[in-house]
Amino acid sequence: MPFEFGIKDIIDIFLVALILYYLYRLMKESRSLNIFIGVMVFVIVWLFVSQVLEMRLLGSILDKLVSVGVIAMIVLFQEEIRKFLYTLGAHQRIRRFARLFTSNKSDKDMEVTRATIMPIVMACMSMSKGKIGALIVIERGAPLDDIIDTGDVIDANINQRLIENIFFKNSPLHDGAMIISNKRITAAGCILPVSHNRDIPKELGLRHRAAMGISQESDAIAVVVSEETGRISVAVKGQFHLRLSAEELESILTREID
């Protein structure tokens, strides 16, 4: 029977290529690219031996290795798999589809969101003028409990003066990150994962790399005030928005905060 190449085969190839592409990006971000390449080489050899050459003995040995290797890969890359699944669920189009089954924001919810955003914006503008370094992380869907545990718990209402006092140069908590969760200042002085992305401009310091790191490992929004230049930046979804004005900062936070 001659081989027929139809629309299903095109879709099949496209989906496999898409999965491999996302796995490649995920391994590259987690600095596990060499392991990913090694696994792909092993899979290609396994398919060539078992499907093309039809070597039964060697093929059966490789089959056993693959079955055991899948379990080992799940254990080895459990954090990356969790991140991949979360990223898939948090994709913008999927979230839009989910919102079709939920009610729209009420005017009261919009007022609460604005009351959350404006103290952050005003504090950042004030610290920008005084060139006071700051790093504020706003939790969204993914919980940041492991990050919160690295700092000091505060649990206070979002207040401009409190934010400025925490990041004041003589404050013992000014070097770490502030975590905002459930529209409250949850903790300060927290330690964030640092991004090793080489595409980050060299003039951006450790605060920016930490902001990028948390935005890559979660869906959180990270706001940075540079101590050297006073410029305001936002890291979200692994991307930087640099040199923001008050209006631009407010717009980004309003758009990104659910």
Residue 34: burial class (beta carbons within 10 Å; 0-12, 13-18, 19+) = exposed
H/E stretch holding 137 reads strand 134-138
Asked if residues 232 and 243 have their Cβ atoms less than 8 Å apart, the reply is yes
Instruction: Provide the 8-state DSSP code for 34.
Output: H
List the Cα angle 135/138/140 in 5-degree steps.
Answer: 155
- The predicted model scores a pTM of 0.65
Other Cβ atoms less than 10 A from the Cβ of 79: the count is 10
Residue-wise pLDDT tens for the chain (258 aa)?
Answer: 455 667 877 888 888 788 777 777 666 655 556 666 777 777 788 777 777 777 777 777 777 777 777 777 777 666 666 666 665 555 544 454 444 444 455 554 555 567 789 999 999 999 999 999 999 999 987 888 889 999 999 989 999 999 999 999 888 888 899 999 988 999 999 999 888 877 787 888 899 999 999 998 888 999 999 999 999 999 998 889 999 999 999 999 998 886
User: Within 100-205, where are the H helices?
Assistant: 107-129, 145-148, 160-166
Asked if residues 180 and 163 have their Cβ atoms less than 8 Å apart, the reply is no
Distance CA 188, CA 137 (A): 10
Q: Which of 126, 120, 127 is nearest to 226 (CA)?
A: 127
